[in-house]
Amino acid sequence: MFTPLVIINRRLTTAARCKRRVVVTGMGIVCPLGIGVQNAWQALINSKSGITKLTNPEYDKLPCKVATEEALNDANWKPNNETDKRDTGVAVGIGMIDLIDVCTTYEALKKGYNKVSPYFVPRILTNMAAGQISIKYGLRGPNHSVSTACATGAHAIGDAFRFIRGGETSVMICGGAEACISPLAIAAFCRLRALSTNKNDFPYEASRPFDKDRDGFVMGEGAAILVLEELNHALERNANIYAEVLGYGLSGDATHLTAPSEDGTGAILAMDRAVKDAGIETVEITFINAHATSTPLGDGIELKAIESFMGQHSKNVTVSSTKGAHGHLLGAAGNLEAVFTILAIKESVIPPTLNLHNLDTETSLNFAPNIKKNWNTTSRRVALKNAFGFGGTNACLCFAQYNE
């Protein structure tokens, strides 16, 4: 029998406050599993790993403009008239700025004031990804940026969802990007004892969510962008609909700079608020794409939080973490994994958790260790996507199969 960690009032008193429905009509990906949504998705469900060993301190940035272009093409939405441009906004964030760029610029300053690039400040501002997208495509709707550590991408999607549902705009380009791998960043996370170090010679085995031999996360880079759209707007132009966004929940752990609250309160509150926002019951949820980064502490707490929240329904819920295949993309994690959650809904397939061989938590939850699972359900497919960040910031998104 499970013991609830936190008692939650399940009355749907905060159910969706607006009738405007929001759907996903376009997606784009640049990530360790590949460039392009289908390339990355096929690699994931075929149990391939995109994690490799770092052999050179230099790296190529993975600009979010590549994923944005794919998402807009996928949605067939590149507005030309002024009305449509004003009705399309952007919500894209990053988790961290480029630390090496800061250090290099400081060294340049020592050689002289004129050695500092006039583009230095625009390069390190966290809202510039959203700004660049808005400028490139002439989008004059809400221009919004999120920077909430590893919850950035999920918060960006959730905020975009609320902009549309609340009537501020009809279309939002949203997600996150991250390109911060450098010797300094690696050293800093190692000093936090956050990174995996036991599998340096076998990198594809290093990220192992929920497995008893996990010893930390593997840093990844990339971008994932989604096009969210008000339902009637999408139907009027006969857009392809991947899934529906039902709800969004946020919370704070109020506990520690880097560690989650031990009783899982923050995770439970975020999931509860997302489900209440969606106006559904927990029994409708049968898949959860976990945040699970492969850290000894975090993965176990999240599983206990999920089981506490789902209660007796836990036996009908499958939990997976795709980070086993692509590592942890920090500020681009929640949005990349949201894309995989949406594809899981669309194709009725639950992606695997790679390197999960020995679960170290007693639980009635179900898993998809190392190979994909068919998502069998007698009702519509409904999923949650969790994302948590340093500072105790939490986000949860609720997606569902689109039904007319």
Q: What is the pLDDT of residue 55?
A: 65
Q: What is the pLDDT of residue 63?
A: 43
Q: What is the pLDDT of residue 77?
A: 97
Q: What is the pLDDT of residue 65?
A: 62
pTM more than 0.95: no
Q: What is the pLDDT of residue 58?
A: 45
pLDDT along the chain (404 residues), means of 10: 58 54 98 97 97 62 70 97 97 93 94 95 93 97 97 98 97 95 89 91 95 96 97 98 98 92 94 98 98 97 98 98 97 98 98 97 97 94 97 97 92
E runs forming strands in 258-379: 287-289, 318-320, 349-350, 366-367, 373-374
- Tell me the Cα Rg of the chain: 20
Q: What is the pLDDT of residue 306?
A: 98
> Mind telling me the catalytic residues?
150, 291, 328
Q: What is the pLDDT of residue 241?
A: 98
3 state DSSP class of 90: strand
Q: Would you say 158 and 166 are in contact if contact means Cβ atoms under 8 Å apart?
A: no
Q: What is the pLDDT of residue 53?
A: 79
Task: Give 245's strand partners.
Answer: 22, 399
Tokens standing for 332? Answer: 């681009």
CA torsion angle 256 257 263 269 (round to 10):
110
Q: Is 69 left (phi over 0), alpha (psi -120 to 50) or beta?
A: alpha
Q: What is the pLDDT of residue 1?
A: 46
For the stretch 325-364, what's the b/e string if a residue is b when 16 or more beta carbons lie within 10 angstroms of its beta carbon? Answer: bbbbbbbbbbbbbbbbbbbbbbbebbbbbbbbeebeeebe
Cβ-proximal residues to 255 (8 Å cutoff; 6+ apart), any chain: 261, 262, 266, 392
Cβ-proximal residues to 266 (8 Å cutoff; 6+ apart), any chain: 251, 252, 253, 254, 255, 260, 388, 392, 394
